[in-house]
A and B are shown apart, each in its own frame.
Chain A
Amino acid sequence: MADILRERERQVYRKGQQQAFQLDCEKQSVAGSVSQRACVFCGSRVVLYPIADALHIVHGPIGCASYTWDIRGALSSGPELHRLSFSTDLQEMDVVRGGEKKLYAALCELIDAHKPKAAFVYATCIVGVIGDDVEAVCKRASMEKGIPVLPVHSEGFKGTKKDGYRAACDALLQIVGTGPVDDVSPLSINILGDFNLAGETWMIRDYYSRMGVQVVSCITGDGRIDDIRRAHGAALNVVQCSGSMTYLAKSMEEKYGIPFLRVSYFGVDDLSKSLYDVARHFKDKEMLQRTQSMVREELQRIMPIIADYRRALEGKRAAIYVGGAFKAFSLVSALRLLGMKTVMVGSQTGNKDDYEQLRELCDEGTIIADDSNPLELSSFLEEKDVDVFIGGVKERPIAYKLGIGFCDHNHERKEALAGFEGMVNFAREVYGSVMSPVWRLTPRKRGNPLEVVK
């Protein structure tokens, strides 16, 4: 059984073992608990990262820029400015005298050198503390250089990753509504909350184009500033990563009257439902028919492949620990399609509704955890004798050290896991990890190795 800190006891739940469902969440991480969460800056950085023709400059000491240099699998079909790392690299004297001058000079030289369509200035922990007026510097640079220069208020300590999402959305809201929309079709959408990891946005765009839907902008996968400027012309916002993008969608609804739909492109059930929901929203019979035949065609193609993987994976046990809970829903059903059981599921930033939905979705005995840590996660993996753990880079060594398979479902992944093709990739990756012969040699499976051969 897990060694759970007293302060965290109400953040772990086992389905069926307690009478009333109660799970504390949306709390500040407990000091000393080794949370898997990041910070406000991380939230902002991850959301804005894929905008490929903008300059992203981190204002602060070097660490934050070093640790986020080219770390994401967000692809671009054109410029790749987002894959470079820029920082004001504040030094001791800057901390004493303030970093405004340095920021201004850095912005000017970088805008001149790279000619971006916009610039995002990420304020990190100490910027507010040393009293830099980032807003004023951005305004001045914007005036002089003729592009939007937007402060992103992402001081690490000022909340959680979610506050960072919000800061990013606030910056985006300053761009939305500044471009021409005369050629935007009434059957049009913005794709919100897909980050084009391994080209996923391109696959999704293709589905929409086959359905006859115009995609005005992708926020932020393969993102372009000029597209985002026009986003207010779209008839519908289609939101995948709800944790990061619901705020933007709601703000656009208030300001421009654009309704939004929550979707998920992971797993065939959620994906198909999402595409149908969009088609139904437009009340266009032909579009619905096109969607139906597309879905049918894709399913006919992939289901035999999935069935083959399923034969090998039936009954295997999976654990999930991801950033946003919304992704976890789709993963639970995608794993079910592969015949697998989810025995543990958790997220860094889920809310009450998310966890309630997860509880309904999961089988008896499943562990649900909010803002977990390596000691808890490792004990869950051991207790539930998990075959594959689905998470991000920080979760990987926990699984591997214990001789357990792992599938990266985070922003660093190089395999497209969204869409119909993504389901096949996901099945292949889970299969490839679970069925690898290497586990047979690990202490977990083999015990005393020389005893076995005697």
Chain B
Amino acid sequence: MSSQPRVPKSVPRPNWVSTRNPCKACAPLGATLVMRGIEGAIPFLHGSQGCATYMRRYLISHFREPMDIATSGFSEATTIFGGGANLHQGLKNVTSQYHPSLIGIATTCLTETIGEDVHGLLHEYREKNGGGESPLLVHVSTPSYSGTHVDGFNGAVRAVVEQLAEPGAVPSAYVRSFVNLFPGLVSSGDLRFLKEVAADFALPMTLFPDYSETLDGPSMDKYKKIPEGGTTIVSLRATPSANASIEFGRTLRTKRTAASFLQERFEVPAKRIGMPIGVQESDVFFAAMEKLSGQTMPEKYRMERGRLVDAYVDGHKYLFGKRALVIGDEDMVVGLASFLAEIGVVPVLCASGGKSGALKHAIAEVTTHVRETVAVRDGVDFMTIAEEVELKELKADFIVGSSKAAKLARTLGVPLIRVGFPIHDRIGGQRILHLGYRGAQQLFDLIVNTLLEVKQDSNSIGYSYL
């Protein structure tokens, strides 16, 4: 039982200026990931060579897949005289090497600071090189000094939709016959799951981005310059003709997103729901699917839900009153907090490097029946989290978060349940299924078994039955 009120020590919290062990990456990284989720597209960074290389390395270490990111490769002269020539040459070379259908250009801190007019430069490029089989060019502004990789991700989703949206792109018979789904930064496994759900509901769906195959593909005998898969450009053009847009993320309320754009501009109703992790948030998602498809939830999912709730019952004693730290991208944290709260685990601290301003409210919404204090910290780094844990004597039993929390877990001597992004110290991060009843089932079994393992290993009896 850990329901006594916890009185924080009256030690003043130092106000750190520096960021120590960051809990975020920079905005362009999120944008490159989105561009990788468009069929035939290649991501392109307008900036220094190192940005592309570091981001490739970071993403490759998670997905364990090739991740080519082109760059204009700024030099000193480029920085003084402007990057136009490099951008144009880079686009030309990428086109001749990769034959992409689309080049997704994201800016970096350098190009934003020197005030590059990327829009104008692309216009110029199109004038000179347009027509024929020249690729589409989309552009997203992602200054690294603003927001996190998640903001870059969501910004890129909106930018692509804005720039490709074409009312009347589909024959009238298809208008309002399908939905858009913008899931946010989830795993390749999650994306495959969402496509399966749409197919089972017989609901045509434009899922964007879709790196389910481009960043988790099969072994090949011939290297594919651009891996198969991704959201098709045809369907990206058609987003204004959808019946509705579903968007995952309770913290997006303050943001201008792809779904809010389509609603304002083309009156496509936006349905914003939480990331469907756990029973309750998944119920909201499946209810939306029922409503939009006009079909009741297929038996398969009814059974998945049933088995999940049955498992909750089987495992509840092992979990009740356990305390967890939840660390990661904001909407993932909200989904996980909702899931943990519904299985009897207290999410004693929900922390993120992101700072949408909506995290506290979102966590409060999904943890209403938790009797203990749920602390929420946004815009924090791992050292601040560690200090908070010490200061408030949070005594967590485990951590749920990305592999960047591994050091903290080691210091605290508690297990880390690896979820979200990035997973750099285990294999299969791209295949972790978080969403739906099925994803919750996997997370649930993993958490219970991890705690049972601790129980078994940390006493001298070595129980044979638990």
Contact A34 B66 (CB under 8 A): no
B144's nearest neighbour on chain A, judged by CB, is A61
Least CB distance from B271 to A in Å reads 32
Residues of A within 8 A of B61 (CB): 393
Least CB distance from A329 to B in Å reads 24
B15's nearest neighbour on chain A, judged by CB, is A109
A91 CA to B18 CA in the complex, in Å?
A: 11
For window 117-152 of chain A, which residues contact chain B by CB distance below 8 Å? 124-126, 129-130
- Answer yes or no: B253 CB below 8 A from chain A CBs: no
* Choice from A37, A63, A64, A402 contacting B49 with Cβ under 8 Å: A37
- Answer yes or no: A33 CB below 8 A from chain B CBs: yes
* Choice from B58, B94, B219 contacting A32 with Cβ under 8 Å: B94
Least CB distance from B13 to A in Å reads 13
B50's nearest neighbour on chain A, judged by CB, is A39
- Answer yes or no: B143 CB below 8 A from chain A CBs: yes
* Choice from A85, A375, A401 contacting B22 with Cβ under 8 Å: A85
A156 CA to B49 CA in the complex, in Å?
A: 8
Segment touching B, from A65-73, A237-245, A279-287: A65-73
Contact A28 B221 (CB under 8 A): no
- Answer yes or no: A94 CB below 8 A from chain B CBs: yes
A367 CA to B264 CA in the complex, in Å?
A: 56
For window 45-72 of chain A, which residues contact chain B by CB distance below 8 Å? 57, 60-71
* Choice from B21, B76, B221 contacting A84 with Cβ under 8 Å: B21
Residues of B within 8 A of A33 (CB): 70, 93, 97
A105 CA to B20 CA in the complex, in Å?
A: 14
Residues of B within 8 A of A94 (CB): 145
Contact B19 A397 (CB under 8 A): no
Residues of B within 8 A of A158 (CB): 75-76
Given A85-B21, A443-B221, the answer on whether A31 and B50 have CB atoms closer than 8 Å is: no
Residues of A within 8 A of B90 (CB): 31-32
Contact B19 A442 (CB under 8 A): no
Given A7-B93, A32-B71, A63-B144, the answer on whether A374 and B66 have CB atoms closer than 8 Å is: yes
Contact A29 B113 (CB under 8 A): no
A374 CA to B49 CA in the complex, in Å?
A: 15
Segment touching A, from B25-33, B160-168, B390-398: B25-33
Contact A62 B144 (CB under 8 A): yes
Given A38-B53, A87-B19, A403-B221, the answer on whether A125 and B26 have CB atoms closer than 8 Å is: no
A424 CA to B17 CA in the complex, in Å?
A: 47
Q: Mark A419-444, 1 if CB is under 8 A from B, else 0.
A: 00000000000000000000000111
How many positions in chain A have a CB within 8 Å of any CB in the partner chain? 76
Residues of A within 8 A of B47 (CB): 125, 156-157
Contact A34 B69 (CB under 8 A): yes
Q: Mark B378-409, 1 if CB is under 8 A from A, else 0.
A: 00000100000000000000000000100100
Contact B49 A3 (CB under 8 A): no
* Choice from A32, A157, A401 contacting B75 with Cβ under 8 Å: A157
For window 352-396 of chain B, which residues contact chain A by CB distance below 8 Å? 383
Contact B143 A92 (CB under 8 A): yes
Q: Mark A394-412, 1 if CB is under 8 A from B, else 0.
A: 1011101111000000000
Given A106-B18, A382-B223, the answer on whether A31 and B86 have CB atoms closer than 8 Å is: yes
- Answer yes or no: A214 CB below 8 A from chain B CBs: no
Residues of B within 8 A of A39 (CB): 48-51, 53
Given A61-B145, A129-B110, the answer on whether A109 and B17 have CB atoms closer than 8 Å is: yes
Residues of A within 8 A of B145 (CB): 61, 90-92, 94-95, 126
Least CB distance from B431 to A in Å reads 15
Contact A66 B86 (CB under 8 A): no
A62 CA to B14 CA in the complex, in Å?
A: 21
Least CB distance from A19 to B in Å reads 28
Residues of A within 8 A of B435 (CB): none
- Answer yes or no: B293 CB below 8 A from chain A CBs: no
Residues of A within 8 A of B25 (CB): 62-63, 66-67
* Choice from A71, A379, A393 contacting B60 with Cβ under 8 Å: A393
Contact A32 B28 (CB under 8 A): no
Least CB distance from B407 to A in Å reads 8
A360 CA to B66 CA in the complex, in Å?
A: 32
Contact A92 B146 (CB under 8 A): yes
B21's nearest neighbour on chain A, judged by CB, is A85
- Answer yes or no: A86 CB below 8 A from chain B CBs: yes
Least CB distance from A267 to B in Å reads 27
Q: List 30 A-B contacts (CB under 8 A).
A: A7-B93, A32-B72, A39-B48, A57-B18, A60-B109, A62-B19, A63-B26, A63-B54, A63-B144, A66-B58, A67-B54, A67-B57, A87-B22, A91-B146, A95-B145, A106-B18, A125-B48, A125-B108, A129-B79, A157-B78, A159-B76, A374-B68, A379-B223, A394-B53, A397-B67, A401-B219, A402-B220, A403-B221, A443-B221, A447-B221
* For the complex of A and B, 5 pairs with smallest distance between CB atoms: A39-B50, A63-B26, A32-B93, A32-B90, A31-B90
Given contacts A32-B89, A62-B22, A382-B222, 8 further A-B contacts (CB under 8 A): A5-B93, A35-B49, A84-B20, A89-B18, A90-B145, A91-B145, A375-B223, A401-B223
